[in-house]
Amino acid sequence: MSIILTQVARLAARFDELTNQMADPEVAADFSRLNELDRERNEIEEIAQTYRRHQEAARQLEDNQLLLADGDDEIRLLAELEIEQLEAEMAALENAMRVMLLPKDPKDDRHVIVEVRAGTGGEEAGLFAAELYRMYVRWAEAHSYKTEILSLSETGLGGLKEVVFAVKGKGAYSKLKYESGVHRVQRVPVTESQGRIHTSAATVAVLPEADEIDVQIEDKDIRIDIFRSSGPGGQSVNTTDSAVRLTHLPTGIVISCQDEKSQLQNKLKAMRILRSRLLEMEELKRQQEQGAARRSQIGSGDRSEKIRTYNFPQSRVTDHRINKTVHQLDTVMNGDLDDFIEELAAFDQAERLQAMSDETAA
């Protein structure tokens, strides 16, 4: 813990330094500089305050340990009780400081783009993909996030071949990033006449929405094709050449958008999806360079990994990464995902803390 305390003490000293600089009249007169210092100060304020509480508890612990030599039995008993409480408080503060020292994912505060695609299972997979989409929309509504469909392709029975939608709100990525992977459903399909349980699947990819400054896309790297929208339209959506297909030539990524009435709107949506996919590719490349340890963490976004099973006959949902099972399938499908999200985040945090401890020990 001494290494951790040294790091935290350095940050606490920096916090005091920033506070003093901001009190300087010359700095206060420079709005840009003041904002820069204030932003840095806010980032380390919580850990600095936690360190101060830890230091105060350490001083109180030392004082109470001296009282153990007192000849008064009552004073010694009170000191022992106080020591027990202070040691527990210090342990909690030390753990809190370890967590605060973990590198923050700079993408956590971003909006997200979620892609849900039907996998194995034919029409049943499409129906399940539609239910997953509704599950995420209901979760977003419950947390006051806004959703926006970017691309949608339906099946004949009311299912979805694919839906790409945005979830807008601060911290959306920090919550939904654990949903990437293969979601499996076990139930009797509506098309099954003999009542047999089938297993189908859908894939989910959660991408932090990228800004133009994150990913630079050259015009020469894009081929744009215009075509007539198809499928359910209305309001002239499928009667004009407004659908847009973008092909990113260096990677071969193809994005099609046809849900808006104008070419420009569809192109803008397609570019949002393309930027986010390119940002994801860069992130996966970086993870591969860092080695297998990082890729093994649950937040790696590997969409080929089976992460969760939804068993309708047993009303059971099981997350295979944390071995968590609940028998409340209806509430989960209505968007009640918070228990899973919180436990996945806690598990990820514990894994990163262990990795940090291993690095410190080495």
Tell me the average pLDDT across 288-314.
66
Arithmetic mean of pLDDT, 174-180: 94
pLDDT of residue 334 exceeding 60, the answer is yes
Q: Are residues 52 and 124 in the same domain?
A: no
What pLDDT score was predicted for residue 233? 43
356 within domain boundaries: no
Asked if the model's pLDDT at residue 142 lies above 90, the reply is yes
pLDDT in tens, 61-84: 999 999 998 778 899 999 999 999
Contact present, 114 and 204 (Cβ < 8 Å) = yes
Apex 14 CA angle, 12 and 16, nearest 5: 75
The band of 290, judged by pLDDT with boundaries at 50, 70 and 90, is low
In tens, the pLDDT along 19-58 reads: 999 999 999 899 999 999 998 999 899 999 999 999 999 9
Residue 359 lies in a domain: no
d(CA 308, CA 201): 10
Q: Choose one of 101, 123, 146: the last residue of a domain.
A: 101
* pLDDT band, very low/low/confident/very high, at 237 (cuts 50, 70, 90): very low
Question: Of all residues in the chain, what percent carry a pLDDT higher than 90?
Answer: 52
Residue 225 has what pLDDT?
86
What confidence tier does 304 reach under pLDDT thresholds 50, 70, 90? low
| CATH number of the domain where residue 7 is located | 1.20.58
Q: Please indicate, yes or no, if residue 344 is contained in any of the structural domains.
A: yes
79-106, pLDDT tens digit by residue?
A: 999 999 999 999 999 988 988 888 788 8
Do strands 306-311 and 181-187 pair parallel, antiparallel, or not at all (unpaired)?
A: parallel
Amino acid at 168: K
Q: Which long-range CB contacts under 8 A does 331-334 form with residues at least 24 apart?
A: 332/135, 333/131, 333/134, 333/135, 334/135, 334/138
pLDDT at 293: 42
Q: What is the pLDDT of residues 310-332, one digit of tens each?
A: 999 999 999 999 999 999 999 99
pLDDT band at 303 (very low <50, low <70, confident <90, very high): low
pLDDT tops 80 at residue 124: yes
| Domain boundary, last residue among 101, 122, 149 | 101
Q: Both 28 and 125 in a single domain?
A: no
Task: Quickly state the pLDDT bin for 360 (edges 50, 70, 90).
Answer: low
**Total of domains in the chain:** 2
Q: Are strands 160-168 and 146-154 parallel, antiparallel or unpaired?
A: antiparallel
- Same domain? For 233 and 262 the reply is yes
pLDDT on residue 294: 42
Highest mean pLDDT, choosing among 140-144, 156-160, 255-259 = 140-144
Distances (CA, A) of 235 to 227, 245, 264, 265, 270: 17, 21, 16, 15, 21
Q: Show the domain range for 273.
A: 114-350
pLDDT beyond 60 at 232: no
**Co-location of 97 and 130 in the same domain:** no
Asked whether residue 146 carries a pLDDT value surpassing 70, the answer given is yes
302 and 205 in one domain? Answer: yes
Give the per-residue pLDDT at 61: 95
Q: Are residues 291 and 336 in the same domain?
A: yes
Boundary-marking domain end, from 71, 101, 131: 101
Task: Report the CATH number that the domain containing residue 294 is assigned in CATH.
Answer: 3.30.70.1660
Q: What is the pLDDT of residue 98?
A: 86
Say if residue 13's pLDDT is above 80.
yes
CA distance 324 to 318: 6
